[in-house]
Amino acid sequence: MAQQHEQTRTETDAFGPIEVPADKYWGAQTQRSLQNFRINQPHDRMPPSLIRAWGILKGAAAHVNVEHKVLDPRLGEAIQKAAAEVASLDLIDHFPLVVWQTGSGTQTNMNSNEVISNRANEILGSQLGTKSPVHPNDHVNLSGSSNDGMATAMHISAVLDVEDLVLPALKSLRSAMEKKTKQFDHIIKIGRTHLQDAVPLSLGQEFSGFAKQLEYGQGRVEQALEGLRSLAMGGTATGSGLNTYEGFHAAFAKRVSEVTGKHFVAAENLFEAISANDAIVHASGALNTLACSLFKIAQDIRFEGCGPRCGLGELVLPENEPGSSFMPGKVNPTQCESMTMICAKVIGNHTAITIGGLSGQFQLNAFKPLLISDFLHSVRLLSDGMRSFEVNLLEGLQADEKRIKYLLDQSLMLVTCLSGTIGYDVASKVAKNAHKKGTTLRESAIELNALSGEKFDELVRPELMIAPSKLPGAA
């Protein structure tokens, strides 16, 4: 059978003519990048959230340029219409480039310029590839460059995804954890340190620690958001603002705020905003901290639910799906395993982001595509993971109070409450004697004449061990 060839059209750039698919809005520079960087296509294409941000950026720039009378209103209106289609992701199939390209994201900027130019010209009745009347560089790229544009698109996409995805999921999970704290408050269990028996606490107290971790993580994320609100647009190539005009920088940030409904400001120092990406590194650090918290929470719940008969078995995890193709009836802590794998990936992403953040040279950080793709990946993983963990695990999580009571009664560390009465050394002898002979603490205390049975029963009460005692005479 003869090979089918797709129809093409000829577009040109500084390197000359090149054939591009006839049904695509991209042009020569996009096609060259597509050919020169055949790296893990299509899996590692630029994230849709970033493409959306480019659409917002180009539309806002055109709006400001028209307002300041440096762009023909007719062309500006067509650019804004095309840019809105990009921002809505209706044209996502026309953005084929992978992350692994030039470190400034120049090819993706040109991809945006070409798609918007061709679509705007189509709106105005011209054929694709003509670059007239809307030119990708002269009009769509007006008052910007790849360097300040990519830095700006990174921050727009980061703020939108963190505010719309991470924070709602995190707040919801935190609220669900606080409900479990109240639900479990009456259940007293044995504590564990160093994976060994320790003094008691309530299950609610344990879950209050989880809730506090999430509260702290929320605060870190909200704090990091503030640095992401500053936009570099208007600094052009190095931060000097060459080929822009007074007022563009601030007007652009204001317009993006109006379009997105989010708060953005003009970067105070455009040289920093382009040469470094510390705000992304800082925000990734907040996600990294959150991932550490979620890993700890998921792992603790997983361990305390291990069993159902031959492990700790204190928590009863929801049974969502069969756990084994080989062992009938087996059910596994799949949500905990999913969450811990997600956290491991987020921590790995942060390592790459850290390396990317420290690798800028002079007036440009040239790791921008890596930085934003890994950041947005972490955002999506954590957002989806927290939603899944809340709905499929936390909501249905129950405590096996009978098992918890049994393990509490078996613990030798209840002897700790006797230290103030019989002293540390004698209390230690009571515990060690009980462990050696397989007796209860009460039996051991009586055998060693440390306490009478009645006095032991008066003092060794787990419900009194989960909070500080009151000082004599205290109300």
Instruction: Give the catalytic positions in this structure.
Output: 194, 324
Please, are residues 86 and 70 in contact by the beta-carbon 8 Å criterion?
no
Q: Are 210 and 174 in contact (CB under 8 A)?
A: no
- Contact (CB, 8 A) for 31 and 22: no
Q: What six digits make up the tokens of 126?
A: 């011209």
In degrees rounded to 5, what are phi and psi of residue 196?
A: -120, 160
Residue 316 CA neighbour count, 13 Å, CB half: 9
Count of other CB atoms within 10 angstroms of residue 46: 26
* Interhelix angle 146-161/203-228, nearest 10 degrees: 150
**DSSP, res 193:** E
Give the C-alpha separation, 277 to 357, whole Å: 6
> For residue 358, which amino acid is it?
L
Q: By CB neighbour count within 10 A (0-12 exposed, 13-18 middle, 19+ buried), where does 219 fall?
A: exposed
Helix segments in 236-366, DSSP class H: 248-260, 270-275, 278-304, 334-357
Residue 329 region by backbone torsions, left for phi larger than 0, else alpha for psi between -120 and 50, else beta: left
CA Rg, the chain, in Å?
31
Residue 470, sorted as left (phi over 0), alpha (psi -120 to 50) or beta, turns out to be: beta
Region at 196 (left for phi over 0; alpha for psi -120 to 50; beta for the rest): beta
Q: 3-class DSSP state for residue 97?
A: coil
Backbone angles phi, psi at 45, to 5 degrees: -70, 155
Q: Assess contact for 151 and 274: CB atoms under 8 A.
A: yes
